[in-house]
Chain A
Amino acid sequence: MMSGRPRQPSDDRIAITGMGVLSPIGQGVEAFWSGLINGVSGITTIERFPTHDLRVRRGGEVKQLQGTPGLERPLPACRASQFLIHAATEATRMARLSEAVAAGGRVAVVIGSALGGIAEAERWHEQPGDLHALAGAPYDGPTRQLARWLDATGPVLTISTACASGATSLGLGADLLRAGAATAVVAGGMDVLCRFVMRGFNHLRSLTRDEMRPFDRRRKGLLLGEGAGVVVLERAQTARQRGIAPCGYLLGHASCADGAHITAPDPQGRGLEQSIRLALANAGVRSAEIEFISAHGTGTPLNDRMETQVFKQVLGARAYEVPVNSIKAHMGHTMGAAATLETIMCLLAWRYGQVPPTLNYGEPDPECDLPYVTGQARTYRPRLSLNTAAGFGGCNACLVLAGGE
Chain B
Amino acid sequence: MRASTRTTRRARVAAALTALGTAAALASAAPAVAATDPSSGPGNSTYANNVLPGTTFLTAGKMEAETSTTTPASTGEYMYWSFPALAGEDVSAKVTLTLPNSRTAPMSWRVDVFDGLRRHQPCATGRPQATAQPADAAIEIDCGPRTIRPWSEAWSSDPLPGTYYVRVAATDVAERDLGLRLQVKLELTAKGGGDVGPYAGQDDSLKAPLVPVTGGGQQLQPGQVADTRKVTLAGFDNDDEWLSGTTGRWVWTTAGGIVAMLLGVGGYLFARHPRRWFR
Q: Do A and B come from one complex?
A: no
